[in-house]
Structure 1
Amino acid sequence: MAGDDPFQVLQGDARDIAKSLEPGTFRAIITSPPYFGHRHYGPDRGEIGQERDVERYLDALEGIFVACKRLLAEDGSLWIVIGDTRRRKEKLRVPHRLAERLSSAGYRFREDIIWYKKNNISSSSRDNFSQAYEYVLFFSKNAHSYADLDAVRVQGNEAVEGRNRVPPKEMLQFAPENPDRKEIERIADIIHNATAGTPISELPSTSEIARAYGYDPEKFCPTCYRKFKRHATRRRIGDHKHYPIFAVCNPNGKNPSNVWEIATRAHYGNEHFAIFPEELVEKIILFATKKGDFVLDPFCGRGTTGISAVSLGRRFVGIDLYRENVDRASKNILRAQQQI
C-alpha cells in the first residue's frame, strides 16, 4: 500500500494479485466469495462461482485462500462468509468441504459460526426448508491468533431480555475482593473427596463458595444481574475434578456464542447486489484486529469489509475482478472514511 493511504482497491484475479502483495502484512482476511452457481457478476469466464461442477469451484477457492495464507501475519486469521448450494434435492455441503480442504492445506479451523438471518425470506419450495442461515468459517494461520474478546462481549440473556431487574449501583460487584486461598483449598478438598452419597449438609453452601472467591453473595453480577450466590456450584461432585467452580460473569460481558443473529442488508439501485451486512464484518474486525492493522478482502464487491475497516481505524486492501466493482467500492469506502 502506497504511503499512508488507509485503503486501496485493486482490480484483477485475486490469485494473481496475492503474489504481488507483501507477505505477513494482514492481521485478518475477511471475505464473502461468490457462491457456487448462484449469480453472474460479469462477463469474465474466470469468475468464481460459475464452474461446471462444485469440485472445480472448491479448487478455485482453495487456490485463492492458500495463495493468501502467506499474506497473513503469524497471528493472523481468515474469515469466510459462505452459503451452501442445492442440486437435485441435495445440499452440496460447500462450507464443510471447503473447511476440510483448507484444514488439509495448513490452516487451523477454529470455528464455524452460524449467521442467522433474522429477516430471512421464506422459500417457495414445496419440499425444502427456508434457508435462514449461512456459515462464517474462522481459520487461523497458526495455533495462536490475535483475539480481542472484550471488544465483542455481550450482556447475559437475563439482562438483555429484562428477566432480571437492574439492581442499585452499590449492589453491583465488578471484581473479586480479597479471595481466601486457604478457604478455596478447603472447599475444593471437600468437594473433590465427596461421593454421590455425601449428604448435602456436608457440602459447602453457595454463599460459602462465593465468599471464598471474594464475592459478596448478596451482591449482583453486572453482566446478568444475578446474585453471586446463585452462580456458585453446590452439588457437582464425583469425577468432576475441576470443581468447585465459581461461574462469575466477566464484568465486560459474557463470551458471545457462535450463533450471530444479524439481519441481511438490502441493495439499492445499481449497487452490488450480494451484500453481507456491515454489522457482521464489524464484529469480526473488532475481535480479530486492532487499530492500525491491515485487513484484506480478495472478493471486495461493493466494499463492505473496507467500509467497516476504515470506519474502525484499520487499513484495507480489496481485490475485485471487475472495474465497476473496484470503482464502486472505492467510492463507498472513501465516503465512510470522510464520515469518521
Structure 2
Amino acid sequence: MSELREPYWHDDHAAIYHGDAREVLAEMDEGSVDSIVTSPPYWGLRNYCVGQYGQEPTSEAYVENLRATFAEARRVLADDGTCWLNVGDCYAANSDGWSRGRDYNPRQPEVRPKARLAVPPKNLLGMPWRVAFALQEDGWILRNAIVWSKPNAMPQSVRDRMSNRYELIFLLVKQQHGTAMRPTGEPHAAAHPNGRNPGDVWSIPTRPLRAEHFAAFPIDIPLRAIAAGCRPGGTVLDPFTGSGTTGIAARQLGRQFAGIELHAPFIRLAGARIREAGAASGGMR
C-alpha cells in the first residue's frame, strides 16, 4: 500500500482527496473509517469529467467498476462499520423520459442499444440490484434495501408506465454479527439516544442545490445513515464526494470526514460548503 496523498482540501475535521476513488482507497489504511455513505454517478446519466464512473460503455462494465472499487472500500471500513450506498436506476434504450439538461450524457442513446443487455428497449434495467448482487457475491453482507420515497419527485413525461417516485439505498456490512444500528428518530434529532429505528422506507423530499453540482442527494439521507451507523466521534467516508453533502452531515453530527472526488471543481464546491456549515454551527459539535 502506497502512502496516502496529500488532501486537495482540508480543515481540522475534514479532508477531501483528488483522484479516482479506487486508487485513493488503495492508499488508505485498513479499517480506518467507521461508516461509508455515498452515491456514485448513475450509469449513463451525467457526464462531468473524463474518467468519471457512469460513463462505461456497458452496464456490466459499470457494475464491475463499482465492485472493484467497493472491494477496496470494504478493506478500508472497520469490521463493525456500515456502508450506505445509493444507486439510481435507468431504462434500456434511453426511454426513461427524463429531462436531459446541458450535463446529460450525449453518448447515452448510442451506448445503450449496444450494451449487450438481454432485454428489449423500455425495460427497467435494475441497475441498483445488479450492483448489490455483485457486491454480495464479492463478500459484502446486504442487510437492507431501503426505499427512499420522494414525495416531491419531479414529474416525468411518460404515458406508458408509472412515474418514478423512489430510489434505493443499500445497507451493507462486513460481518454477520457485531454491527449494531443506533436508534435515530427523525433526521434533525438523529443522534438522540432514545430515538427509534427509522425502518426501511424513508420519505425524504429532494432538495435542489443551486450550484455546479445538480445531482446532490438531500442532507437528510446522510444525517440518518451516519447517526444510525457510525460510532460517536468516528470517521465517515464518501468515495464520491460530489458537492460534499455527506461531509456537511458528518460535521453536524460530530464525526470526522474523509472524501474522495475526481472532479476538482466539485472539491472546491464541497470544501466551501463544509466550511460554511461549520461556521454556521460554530464549529464541529
TM-score (ref. length: structure 2):
0.80
Q: 1:20 aligns with which of 27, 34, 51?
A: 27
- CA deviation profile, 1:89-131 (whole Å, cap 9, x unmatched): 0011111111111111111000000000010112101212111
Aligned length: 241
Q: Is the CA contact (8 Å cut-off) linking 2:13 and 2:257 kept in structure 1?
A: yes
Match of 2:106 in 1: none
Q: 1:279 aligns with which of 211, 214, 220?
A: 220
Match of 1:58 in 2: 63
**Which residue type is aligned with residue 6 of structure 1?**
H
* In 1: Cα distance, 2:128 partner to 2:178 partner: 21
Match of 1:256 in 2: 198
Judging changes above 3 Å, is the alpha-carbon distance between structure 1 residues 253 and 27 closer, same or farther for their aligned structure 2 residues?
closer
Identity of aligned residues (%): 39
Match of 1:335 in 2: 276
**Which residue type is aligned with residue 338 of structure 1?**
A
Judging changes above 3 Å, is the alpha-carbon distance between structure 1 residues 253 and 318 closer, same or farther for their aligned structure 2 residues?
closer
Q: Is the CA contact (8 Å cut-off) linking 2:184 and 2:195 kept in structure 1?
A: no
* Structure index of larger Rg: 1
Q: Is the CA contact (8 Å cut-off) linking 1:152 and 1:287 kept in structure 2?
A: no
Judging changes above 3 Å, is the alpha-carbon distance between structure 1 residues 39 and 153 closer, same or farther for their aligned structure 2 residues?
closer
* In 2: Cα distance, 1:253 partner to 1:273 partner: 32
Q: Is 2:158 the counterpart of 1:106?
A: no
Q: How does 1:158-177 map to 2 (within 5 A)?
A: none
Q: List alignment gaps of at least 5 residues for structure 2.
A: 93-120, 188-192
Match of 2:97 in 1: none
Judging changes above 3 Å, is the alpha-carbon distance between structure 1 residues 77 and 253 closer, same or farther for their aligned structure 2 residues?
closer
- CA deviation profile, 1:270-321 (whole Å, cap 9, x unmatched): 3311010001110000000122101100000000000000111000000010
Q: Displacement, 1:145?
A: 4.9
Q: How does 1:9-48 map to 2 (within 5 A)?
A: 9-42=16-49, 44=50, 46-48=51-53
Q: How does 1:174-189 map to 2 (within 5 A)?
A: none
Q: List alignment gaps of at least 5 residues for structure 1.
A: 155-250
Q: Displacement, 1:82?
A: 1.2
Judging changes above 3 Å, is the alpha-carbon distance between structure 1 residues 117 and 145 closer, same or farther for their aligned structure 2 residues?
farther
**Which residue type is aligned with residue 295 of structure 1?**
V
* In 2: Cα distance, 1:284 partner to 1:254 partner: 13
Equivalent position SS for 1:273: coil
Q: How does 1:220-239 map to 2 (within 5 A)?
A: none
Equivalent position SS for 1:19: helix
Judging changes above 3 Å, is the alpha-carbon distance between structure 1 residues 139 and 39 closer, same or farther for their aligned structure 2 residues?
same
* In 1: Cα distance, 2:11 partner to 2:212 partner: 28
* In 2: Cα distance, 1:326 partner to 1:147 partner: 32
- CA deviation profile, 1:11-59 (whole Å, cap 9, x unmatched): 10011001111110111111000001111112x1x21111111001101
Q: Is the CA contact (8 Å cut-off) linking 2:184 and 2:197 kept in structure 1?
A: no
Q: Is the CA contact (8 Å cut-off) linking 1:30 and 1:296 kept in structure 2?
A: yes
Q: Is the CA contact (8 Å cut-off) linking 1:147 and 1:289 kept in structure 2?
A: no
- CA deviation profile, 1:116-175 (whole Å, cap 9, x unmatched): 001011210121211100000010011135434323379xxxxxxxxxxxxxxxxxxxxx
TM-score (ref. length: structure 1):
0.68
Judging changes above 3 Å, is the alpha-carbon distance between structure 1 residues 6 and 331 closer, same or farther for their aligned structure 2 residues?
same
Q: Displacement, 1:339?
A: 2.0
Q: Is the CA contact (8 Å cut-off) linking 1:9 and 1:319 kept in structure 2?
A: yes
State the 4+ residue runs in structure 1 displaced beyond 2 angstroms. 1-5, 144-154, 251-257
Equivalent position SS for 2:184: helix
Q: Is the CA contact (8 Å cut-off) linking 2:82 and 2:230 kept in structure 1?
A: no
Superposed CA RMSD in Å reads 2.0
